[in-house]
Amino acid sequence: MPTSTEIHYRTGNDLDLGQVVDLYVASTLGERRPVGDRARMGEMLANANLVITAWDGDLLVGISRSITDWAYATYLSDLAVRESHQRQGIGKELMRRTQAAAPRANLILLAAPKAVDYYPHVGFNRHPSAWWIKPGETIS
């Protein structure tokens, strides 16, 4: 298993889509993302304005995909680390770098069901009034 000194971080969304999809599947985030719809995954990646990745050599092992206004809010929409590389601090480092990129902005996320207990452990506060509407649902 790699050590944290072997992990390198990069910023930018000019990435190979196949590597990104492979990472999502290998992290289990693919269970909740449209990994079978390459066009949609490509749009998700291209339209994110803050993407930080973690690399073990040429292998993409982590990603933080966010949308930010750089001043008030950064929505961390995807945080994924390959299961083979979890519990090494890679996810924490991706979040730290995301926060550092927009230091005046609130860092906001919706936890995946398997990660709901993780975020309070690393310092996030629970927000009791988040709301969402899925695609195809209508505002009445």
In a domain, 140, yes or no: no
**Could you tell me the two tokens for 9?**
């971080």
Task: State how far the alpha carbon of 29 is from the alpha carbons of 14, 80, 106, 140, in Å.
Answer: 20, 6, 23, 31
- How far are the Cα atoms of 62, 114, 118, 138 from residue 11, in angstroms, in the given order? 12, 26, 24, 36
pLDDT value, residue 114: 79
Determine the Cα–Cα distance for residues 41 and 2; give it in Å rounded to an integer: 28
Q: Write down the pTM of the prediction.
A: 0.90
- Does 131 map to a domain? no
Residue 132: predicted pLDDT = 87
Q: Could you tell me the residue range of the domain that residue 61 belongs to? A: 4-121
Q: Is residue 86 assigned to a domain?
A: yes
**pLDDT tens digit sequence for 60-103:** 999 999 999 999 999 999 999 999 999 999 999 999 999 999 99
Quick check: is 137 in a domain? no
Residue 89 inside a domain? The answer is yes
Residue 126 in domain: no
Position 1 scores a pLDDT of 46
pLDDT in tens, 21-56: 999 999 988 899 999 999 999 999 999 999 999 999
What CATH number is attached to the domain comprising 62? 3.40.630.30
Q: Specify the pLDDT at position 86.
A: 94
